[in-house]
Amino acid sequence: MENYKPKSRLTAKEYIDGVLRGDRVLLSRAITMIESNLDSDKRIAKEIVQAILPKSGNSFRIGITGVPGVGKSTFIEVFGLHLIKQGHKVAILSIDPSSQRSKGSILGDKTRMEELANMDEAYIRPSASGDTLGGVANKTGETMLLCEAAGYDIILIETVGVGQSETAVHGMTDFFLLLMLAGAGDELQGIKKGIMEMADMVVINKADGDNIRKSQIARSQYQNALHIFPQSESGWSPVVSTASAIKNIGIDKVWEEISAYKKLVLENGYFHQNRNLQQVQWMYNNINEELKRLFYGSKDIASQLSMLEKEIISAKISPVKAAQKIIEAFKKSF
């Protein structure tokens, strides 16, 4: 650590070598390059990601979601410690939509996962901030590749189960875990049907004390509900189990199920097929992001748009015609 002055700029090669030898300080600094919005940093970040790419991908990627208060941090802490005991190195990343608006993200709280944070085999990075969910997801995706190249063989990507960020996490992970509570209706938990449908496993957390019986009932209800969904392409039937993160009960069962899933999808080819699709989709997501940035970032376009807005309101032009007109103007600007 003492070898690097905090503010001194390093070469791409220094970052790359540092990441590849698992140097946590350089890993963090390389991630900072990825998160930066400065063009000079972005160039270095691209070089780093391109260079480490062949060394990435060798991990199992798990998405974890659930509404605030369901026990995600408590669960990830005990689950992470369990994985480390089995000899794994675990990186914990998050996609937190709130970080787009404020620096104080829900998931960024430093006091979370204190024991795990102190382990050499764990690397915890709070959510990147950015203007769009796509931008944040992109940065998290590249951060994941860096963590893999640095030797972390299990990546946990956490998100708050209330919106679009689940789809982003689902699109970059191999297994999707949904944490739920007994006794609260789905509406109350803000969990959309679409999110349930993405889940490879549902864990009813806080199955302790007076809550045990209710959790068991919820377990069979969710198990029945999941049967209604069409069979997943992975060939896996989603499972529901109960757990108590706080009492460390049922955590080993979660890992057993994930291991069974992993074995199945490696054998039937789904694992690689899904990863390939995700890679291609990632490219398209980037194209979409970049096009939006080019379009809305142009001052000329912005001023024409505000004029068109007025013309639409005063019924001088139809919305469709206005859209065509601005796209034509954009095309001519190249």
**Which 238-267 positions form the footprint of ligand GDP (CB under 6 A)?**
244-246
Closest-by-Cβ residue to ligand GDP is: 71
Q: Tell me the C-alpha to C-alpha distance, in Å, between residue 20 and each of 30, 35, 150, 153, 155.
A: 11, 19, 5, 13, 17
Nearer to ligand GDP among residue 241 and residue 285 (C-beta): 241
**What number of H helices and E strands is found in the chain?**
13, 7
Q: Minimum CB separation from ligand GDP for residue 195, in Å?
A: 15
Tokens 């460390």 -> residue: 248
Q: Minimum CB separation from ligand GDP for residue 184, in Å?
A: 13
66 makes contact with ligand GDP (CB under 6 A): yes
**Terminal Cα-to-Cα distance of the chain (whole angstroms):** 46
139 makes contact with ligand GDP (CB under 6 A): no
105 makes contact with ligand GDP (CB under 6 A): no
Residue among 71, 134, 135, 151 that touches ligand GDP (CB under 6 A): 71
The span from the CA of 225 to the CA of 207, in Å, is 19
Contact window for ligand GDP (CB under 6 A) among 46-54, 67-75, 92-100, 218-226: 67-75
The distance between the two most distant Cα atoms of the chain, rounded to a whole number of Å, is: 68
Residue among 29, 51, 56, 68 that touches ligand GDP (CB under 6 A): 68
The span from the CA of 268 to the CA of 235, in Å, is 8
Q: Minimum CB separation from ligand GDP for residue 218, in Å?
A: 14
| Residue 87 CB neighbours (<10 A) | 8
Binding site for ligand GDP (CB under 6 A): 66, 68-74, 205-206, 208, 244-246
